Amino acid sequence: MFSYHDLQVIDVVSRRGSFSAAAEELHKVPSAISYTVRLIEERLAVELFVRLHRKVELTPAGHYFVEQARDLIKQMDDIRLQTQRVANGWSQSVSVALDTVVRDSRVNTLVRDFYQAFPDVELHLTMEVFNGVWDALADGRADIAIGATAAIPVGGNFDYRDMGILTWKFVVAPDHPLASSTEPLADDELAKYPAVCLEDTSRTLPKRTTWLIDNQRRIMVPNWHSAMQCIKSGLGISVVPTHMAIPRIEKGELVERELVQKPFDSPCCLAWNNESNNPAVDWLLDYLGDSEQLHREWMR
């Protein structure tokens, strides 16, 4: 009844809120978008959109149709990808969630070595923050998690391997007002300046915060790269993983200062779902090595 293009048009119009904006995104003329929507409404015998002066709004039936259309688009995309996998002999896929605290320079080597060992298996990598790693494991979005921090917050058939302790350093920009302090900084002094915090990527588990003082404003960022840019620019203050802080301190980009309330160390681990075991997962667990190797290669 509806083609992929039909469903895509409805989806884009609903997101953009007008035929002209949808036409711009889809590289069509507005009249073509309007015509497609009208044909779909005629087939359904219902109106999906209320036409206003410069925009359109979904009707209750339109809201339902858009939800179903997005599910169908995803199914169509999945069918296409799965068919390609069969045609190319890709027998399976392995998903790895990496906490943003790990060394991203190690990822390229992991990908290269994995595809040399398993040319017929897809490797899916995602970057997560804090409980987002555990959430990915619990939700089945990941088979393995590298750099998961804190205690396991979920129940299930999971196993883990210690990666050592992640330590933190409090840093500010060289020209920040706190950079000239010679005494350990108390919470009342720190609360005057915004804290740079990473946004926890968990979808269902409770979210955690990097570091925050009571009554302190936040600057929320998606990853450590963005956090470092904010701190170096003097926009905010924060604690950062020691292995990320040291090179920047040595270059003079950041200045370390002592705190009265020192940040707690964070135990890290490699975690995996025992129900996901297959040759590729087993190879990865062996390749990543023991606790000493994990700490040396991913946390220093």
Residue 153 has what pLDDT?
59
- Please report which residue ranges of 51-210 form alpha helices under DSSP H: 60-88, 105-117, 131-138, 187-190
Residue 140 has what pLDDT?
86
Residue 150 has what pLDDT?
63
The residues near 58 (Cβ < 8 Å, ≥ 6 apart) are 14, 48, 49, 50, 66
Residue 114 has what pLDDT?
94
- Supply the pTM of this predicted model: 0.67
Q: Does position 91 have pLDDT exceeding 70, yes or no?
A: no
Token digits of residue 110 = 């992991």
Please tell me the distance from the alpha carbon of residue 144 to that of residue 160, in angstroms, as a whole number.
9
pLDDT tens by residue, 139-192 = 888 999 999 876 665 667 888 899 999 999 999 999 999 999 889 999 999 999
Question: Three-state SS for 28?
Answer: coil
Ordered by where they begin, the domains of the chain are 4-87 (1.10.10.10), 89-165+267-298 (3.40.190.10), 168-264 (3.40.190.10)
273 φ/ψ angles, rounded to the nearest 5 degrees: -90, 115
Range with the poorest average pLDDT among 58-62, 165-169, 212-216: 212-216
Question: Which residue would you say has higher pLDDT here, 85 or 58?
Answer: 58
Residue 126 has what pLDDT?
93
- Angle formed at CA 129 by CA 126 and CA 133, multiple of 5 degrees: 60
pLDDT tens by residue, 243-298 = 999 999 999 999 999 999 998 888 899 999 888 777 889 999 999 999 999 999 99
7 φ/ψ angles, rounded to the nearest 5 degrees: -65, -40
Residue 263 has what pLDDT?
87
